[in-house]
Amino acid sequence: MLKIGIIGAGSRGIGCFGKLVTGRDDAEVTALADPNSARMEAAARMLGRKMNFYTSVEEMLKNEHLDGVVITSPDYTHQENALLAIKYGVHVLVDKPLATTAAGCERIIRAARKKNLEVSVGFNLRHAPVLMKIKDLIDSGAIGNLMLIENREFYDGGRTYMSRWNRKYEWSGGLWVHKGSHDFDIFNWWNSSGTPVRVSAFAGVNALRPEGIPFDIDKDKPVGPICSQCAYKKACPDAVPEAARGSLFGAEAVEVDGYVRDKCLFLSDKDTHDNGVAIVEYDNNVRASHIECFICNFTDRRYTIIGDRGIITASLETPKSVTLSPRWGDEDHIIHVPPAPEGGHGGADPGLVARFIECLKTGNLSSSTGRDGIRSVAVGEAAEKSWREHRMVEISELADLNDPVLQSI
Ligand SMILES: NC(=O)c1ccc[n+]([C@@H]2O[C@H](COP(=O)([O-])OP(=O)(O)OC[C@H]3O[C@@H](n4cnc5c(N)ncnc54)[C@H](O)[C@@H]3O)[C@@H](O)[C@H]2O)c1
């Protein structure tokens, strides 16, 4: 049995990785590290297993003999936690983003390389059947030479990005890093012979601001500060639902660290966007554009991938098929996609965990590595700089992605 430690016992650490590892017969979660002991206790109850708890990551690494750790603490802590695990000689799976800056990713990769350790990154979308099918079609030449990729992402969970730590640039690296790194990774993966070179992005907050409050306010009754205490919690169509707060974030855990997940998304101190568009140029004459919209009543990613011999169109959420429209000829080809396995993110999460465990057992590289982590963060960081500084940003300002060490793991 492989022994796995989880750093950051929150929704992703326990609700995804904890459950998936616990459900396997070749690995077990033996330790948790999280500053919040009440949350770790709730986590162990949720997983129905005994495990050791540490409020210090370093203490866990010193005392446990772990085969690997999964890092699911907030984004701004990834670098420090990954470097600690590497210092103690443990392989890491860091949930996306690898770090909040390309420089942070570079430090992790260089440290792991020196110790010959694996760095896997939580790019679960690479395991989504519809996106794997598109990858096969591109690689098999079905649309000729790739020219242009477009993804329009709609997320009806945008409130979660505005009501907790994700809302702050200093904690998440901004949403082009925190959320966009998933999507930039898919662009990089599909366009595997290219390296991203420059990014232009525009973004802003149009709806989730005080002027956007969608109900009448009584001047004697202020709005907020958190949905569960707000006088308008019934009237507000965007109130964070009670259920979204979850059992790991109950009163006992809040008492320890004051971490609430339902800050008013109209009034909070957020400095990340609620919509935007980013355009990426690659060194192989390929371009990609990505729209992020957190103001909508549905969740989907809708893709158009254009080559000089045809166009692929697909949706992530209705993944029964992918449409291939050849450049010449009137007939579209409908290509069926196998049903997704059970599990989070359209069955992608179990695939990610399976590859990490396989990587620990065999030493074969994981499906997404440090190289992929830094490439996607570099694009996200460039997009953040671009919209904040109103300019096009060269990736070379942030990292030399062609440096052999940054491509080696
Ligand atoms: N791959 C995906 O699809 C996906 C989806 C959601 C979140 N994520 C990523 O997973 C990570 C966790 O997100 P979440 O939504 O589970 O957050 P969360 O807020 O639910 O949980 C974070 C946990 O980390 C703990 N923590 C805080 N500081 C810490 C530190 N210095 N060391 C260790 N633990 C610390 C908190 O107490 C909390 O229990 C983030 O990096 C996020 O970007 C990935």
Ligand 1, atom 6, lies closest to the CA of: 12
Separation of CA 184 and ligand 1 centre (Å): 20
Which residue puts its alpha carbon closest to atom 7 of ligand 1? 12
**106: Cβ below 6 Å to ligand 1?**
no
CATH, range 126-208+270-339+370-407: 3.30.360.10
Give bridge partners of residue 31 from the DSSP assignment.
Answer: 5, 52
Question: Is the Cβ atom of 72 under 6 angstroms away from ligand 1?
Answer: yes
126-208+270-339+370-407 and 2-124 share a CATH fold: no
Residue 336, C-beta contacts closer than 8 angstroms, at least 6 positions apart: 320, 321
d(CA 54, CA 81): 13
Q: Is 43 helix (H, G, I), strand (E, B) or coil?
A: helix
Q: Is the CB of 79 under 6 A from ligand 1?
A: no
CATH architecture of 2-124: 3-Layer(aba) Sandwich (3.40)
Distance, in Å, from the CA atom of 122 to the CA atom of 125, rounded to the nearest integer, reads 9
φ/ψ of residue 363, rounded to 5: 80, 0
Report domain extents, the chain.
2-124, 126-208+270-339+370-407, 210-257
Span from the CA of 255 to the centroid of ligand 1 (angstroms): 18
Question: How far apart are the CA of 31 and the centre of ligand 1, in A?
Answer: 16
**Ligand 1 center from residue 8 Cα (angstroms):** 6
Our mutation pick for probing the ligand 1 site, out of 69, 73, 108, counting the most ligand atoms within 8 A of Cβ, is 73
Work out whether strand 196-204 and strand 146-154 pair parallel, antiparallel, or are unpaired.
unpaired
Say which amino acid occupies 407.
Q
Ligand 1 pocket residue status of 349, Cβ below 6 Å: no
How many angstroms does the Cα of residue 72 sit away from the middle of ligand 1? 4
Output the pLDDT for position 345.
72
Is the CB–ligand 1 distance for residue 34 below 6 Å? yes
Q: Is the CB of 8 under 6 A from ligand 1?
A: yes
Closest-CA residue, ligand 1 atom 36, reads 8
Per-residue burial over 111-124, b = 16 or more CB atoms within 10 Å of its CB, e = otherwise: bbbeeebbbbbbbb
Residue nearest to atom 17 of ligand 1 (CA): 10
Ligand 1: atom nearest CA of 160 is: 15
10 in ligand 1 pocket by Cβ < 6 Å?
yes
Task: Read off the amino acid at residue 123.
Answer: F
Which atom in ligand 1 lies closest to the alpha carbon of residue 36? Answer: 37
Give 231 Cα–ligand 1 centroid separation in angstroms: 29
Q: What is the pLDDT of residue 244?
A: 66
Other beta carbons within 10 angstroms of residue 391's beta carbon come to 10
Alpha-carbon dihedral 266, 267, 268, 273, rounded to 10 degrees: 40
Q: What is the pLDDT along the chain (409 residues), one digit of tens a residue?
A: 999 999 999 999 999 999 999 999 999 999 999 999 999 999 999 999 999 999 999 999 999 999 999 999 999 999 999 999 999 999 999 999 999 999 999 999 999 999 999 899 999 999 899 999 999 999 999 999 999 999 999 999 877 888 999 999 999 999 999 999 999 999 999 999 999 999 999 999 999 999 999 999 999 999 999 999 999 999 999 998 877 667 899 889 999 999 999 999 999 899 999 999 999 999 999 999 999 999 999 999 999 999 999 999 999 988 778 999 999 988 999 999 987 777 677 678 888 899 899 999 988 877 889 999 999 999 999 999 999 999 999 999 999 999 999 999 8
Q: Which strands make up the sheet holding 27-33, listed edge to edge?
A: 52-54, 27-33, 2-7, 68-71, 91-94, 119-121
The pTM for the full model equals: 0.96
